Amino acid sequence: MSTQTASPAPAGAPTAGRPAHRLTFFGVLRSEFLKFRTLVSSWVLVIVTVVAMIGLGALLAYVSTAQVGINESTRQNIEENPQFNGQAALPDPMELALQAPAAGVTLAYLILGALAVVIVASEFGTRSITSTFTAAPKRTAVYVAKAIVIAVYSAAIAVVSIVGAWLVAQPILAREDLTFSLWREDVWYNVLGVVVIFVLTAWMGMGLGALLRNNAGAIVVLVVLLFVLPIIFILLPWEWSQDFMQYLPQSLAGILANPVEPADATQMTSDGNAPDYVEAGLWYAVWCGVPLIAGLFSFTARDPK
């Protein structure tokens, strides 16, 4: 009777219970970047965002040049009719021109928020998240990697959009000598504000997508938070509701998207009830951080099915 002896496994060979390859966080991060680049809907929404920012920036630049003529006509009317004194209420064309690069931010940050929803919620809808968790069992690492990818692309989109809108606006503004340098300090604060808005709003969408796991439902909640809440509060009869409106996401984004001098960043705005530039950024981070953290708990604790 012959006996068989098991030959020892070669060194380095995988054994039962030990995976052949341990996926690191950077591997997870690379895979998330790859997912974003290969998702067609991602690039469609990115292009729409950039086009919206540039197009609305050009439109506001045209409005700024038209305002110069309106102001001149109004001044002539004042000279001809001294009893009419409305000159103090005339908008400053240069102030309008400075807002041109960020004119489309209200539409753009909604699109980016929806994009973040799709990136996360679509994986649950198609059940591909199961494969993701099989390859990378550490769900927190996957969630953090998604957040980093979304933040990087959102910041890049913000910079590209603002620079593109500025480039397109300059030839239009040159007709009335309203051009301005991109290196102005208040313009750089404008760029910083838009980057903050885009990144935080995308994180809000990501959190809602992970929490609700449904594209349509998460986008509806996103729209309610960004656009419907101000309408509701403006209809309320109480004085506190009007004060609280200054701390809603839409109002906070409006503060961050306006050019501001560095010395005024921590000063109260012209509206005594509104937060300053830095305070607005902190409050906006709270609004967006709550869904992001709630989404993390849902992403890591709930059954993916």
Least confident span in 63-72, 112-121, 279-288: 63-72
Give the span between the Cα atoms of 186 and 260, in whole angstroms: 5
- Confidence at residue 215, expressed as pLDDT on a 0 to 100 scale: 92
Residues near 279 by Cβ (< 8 Å), separated by ≥ 6?
Answer: 266
Q: Is residue 20 part of a domain?
A: no
What pLDDT sits at residue 21?
A: 57
Band of pLDDT at residue 222, cut at 50, 70 and 90: very high
292 within a domain of the structure (yes/no): yes
* Element at 79 (helix H, strand E): helix 40-80
Tell me what pLDDT residue 33 has: 92
**In the predicted model, is pLDDT for residue 181 greater than 80?**
yes
Q: What are 254's two structure tokens?
A: 């409006």
Find which of 113-117, 242-246, 265-269 is predicted with most confidence, using mean pLDDT: 113-117
Reported as half-sphere exposure (CB side, CA atoms, 13 A), residue 133 has a value of 15
Q: Does a structural domain hold residue 5?
A: no
Is the Cβ–Cβ distance between 97 and 180 less than 8 Å? yes
In a domain, 66, yes or no: yes
- pLDDT reported for residue 260: 61
User: Is residue 17 included in any domain, yes or no?
Assistant: no
What pLDDT does 290 receive? 96
In a domain, 163, yes or no: yes
Q: At what angle do helices 105-125 and 139-173 cross, to 10 degrees?
A: 150
Assign 248 a pLDDT band (cuts: 50, 70, 90): very high
Cα–Cα dist 176/26, whole Å: 51
Amino acid type, 62 = Y
pLDDT (0 to 100) of residue 83: 63
Q: What's the whole-model pTM score?
A: 0.85
Residue 181's domain comprises 25-301
Give the CA dihedral 108, 112, 113, 118, nearest 10 degrees.
Answer: 140
Query: For 111-115, 175-179, 222-226, 273-277, which range has the lowest pLDDT when averaged over its residues?
Result: 273-277
Average model confidence (pLDDT) for the chain?
85
Q: Is the pLDDT higher at 93 or at 114?
A: 114
Q: Does 226 map to a domain?
A: yes
Please identify which residue in the block is written with the tokens 């560095």.
Answer: 262
Domain-embedded: residue 14: no
Structural domain tally of the chain? Answer: 1
As a whole number of angstroms, the distance between CA 271 and CA 247 comes to 12
pLDDT at 58 over 70: yes
Q: Which tokens belong to 282?
A: 């902190």
